[in-house]
Amino acid sequence: MSLKEGEGEGSRSLSMVRRSFLVLASLVPLATTAQSSFPRHHLQAGLGAAAPGADLAGNFSPSFGFGAHYGYRFLRNFQLDVGAEGVLGSARVRDFLDTTFGPRRIRDFQFFLPVGGRVVLPLADDRLEVFAGGGGVYVRYFEAVSQPNQFFRIDCPFCGARNGFGYYGSAGFRIRPGAGRGFWIGGSFRLTRVETTGDAFGRLGPARSRDRWITPMLDFGISF
C-alpha cells in the first residue's frame, strides 16, 4: 500500500469517526428530552384502613390509617419512595392518668416509616399508571397522654412503647382525571411484616412479636 493510499484510508476512518460522533451528539438532546418528558417529583397522601395480623391477631383491631409519601422518578419506569404512615388506636388502649388537671386520656398510636421503590408501568398515554414495589420499614407503637394545652406538657411515666424493623410490598394504580399531568387519584394495597420488641402494649405481651399489617388506601396527589 502506498503512502497516499494509507493517508486516504486514515482520512476515511477519521471521517467515519467524526460522522459517528455527530450522530451520537445529535441523539443526546433527544434522549434528554425523552427522559425529561415525565414528572419526576410525586407527592401523595392516603386514607384507608389498617388490619393487623400474625401475633397481633386478637391483640390489636382493624383501625383507621393514613399516610404521606414522596417519590422521585429517576427513570420513566422506576421510582424511589419515602413516607410516613400512622394508625390510630389499633391496640384499643383505654387508660387514664391522674394529673393536677384531672384524669387525662391515654391513647395508642402506630407509626411506620417505609423506604423503598417501585416499578411503574404508564398506560393510556400516561393517563393511567400501575405499579408494584417494596422496601424496608421502621415501626414504632407508642402510648401518649392527651395534653391540657399547648403551653404545658404532662409526662406519662406509665406509657409503653415498642419498635422494630421489617419489610413491605405494595401494588396499586393511579389515574389522572384531567387533561393536565399534575393531579391524580388512585388506590394501593400494602403488606407489611415486622418484628417488634419492647413494653407490653395493650393486650400484647412484652415478648418479641412477629407482626403483619394489611393496609388498603385511597390515594391522591400531585406530580411535577
71/126 same-domain check: yes
DSSP line for 95-118 = EEEEETTEEEEEEEEEEEEEEEEE
| Percent of the chain as helix, strand, coil, to the nearest 5 | 15, 60, 25
What is the model's pLDDT at position 179?
A: 67
Number of domains in the chain: 2
13/79 same-domain check: no
Cα–Cα distance for residue pair 55/156, rounded to 1 Å: 27
Cα–Cα distance for residue pair 82/138, rounded to 1 Å: 11
Going by C-alpha positions, the residue among 104, 209, 210 that lies closest to residue 158 is 104
Residue 44 is part of a domain; what is its CATH number?
Answer: 2.40.160.20
113/176 same-domain check: yes
122/32 same-domain check: no
Supply the mean pLDDT for the chain. 88
Q: How would residue 24 be classed by pLDDT, with cut points 50, 70 and 90? A: very low
The pLDDT of residue 8 is above 70: no
Q: How would residue 149 be classed by pLDDT, with cut points 50, 70 and 90? A: confident
42/152 same-domain check: yes
Checking 56-59 for CB contacts under 8 A at 24+ apart, the result is: 56/90, 56/204, 56/209, 56/211, 56/212, 56/213, 58/203, 59/91, 59/202, 59/203, 59/204
Find out whether 224 and 46 touch, Cβ atoms under 8 Å: no
Q: In b/e form, how buried is each residue of 44-70, taking b as 16+ CB within 10 angstroms?
A: bebebebbbbebbeebbbebebbbebe
Range with top average pLDDT, 25-34, 100-109, 115-124: 115-124
The pLDDT of residue 6 is above 90: no
Q: Is the pTM of this model over 0.95?
A: no
Going by C-alpha positions, the residue among 45, 50, 167 that lies closest to residue 114 is 167
In terms of C-beta density within 10 A (0-12 exposed, 13-18 middle, 19 or more buried), how is residue 157 classed? exposed
- pLDDT, average across residues 140-152: 90
Tell which wins on pLDDT, 50 or 5. Answer: 50
Going by C-alpha positions, the residue among 80, 84, 82 that lies closest to residue 65 is 84
What is the model's pLDDT at position 28?
A: 46
213/162 same-domain check: yes
13/77 same-domain check: no
The pLDDT of residue 34 is above 50: no
Cell numbers at 142, concatenated: 407508642
27/88 same-domain check: no
What is the model's pLDDT at position 114?
A: 98
58/160 same-domain check: yes
What is the model's pLDDT at position 11?
A: 58
Domain range enclosing 160: 38-223
Cα–Cα distance for residue pair 38/115, rounded to 1 Å: 22
What is the model's pLDDT at position 31?
A: 41
138/152 same-domain check: yes
2/112 same-domain check: no
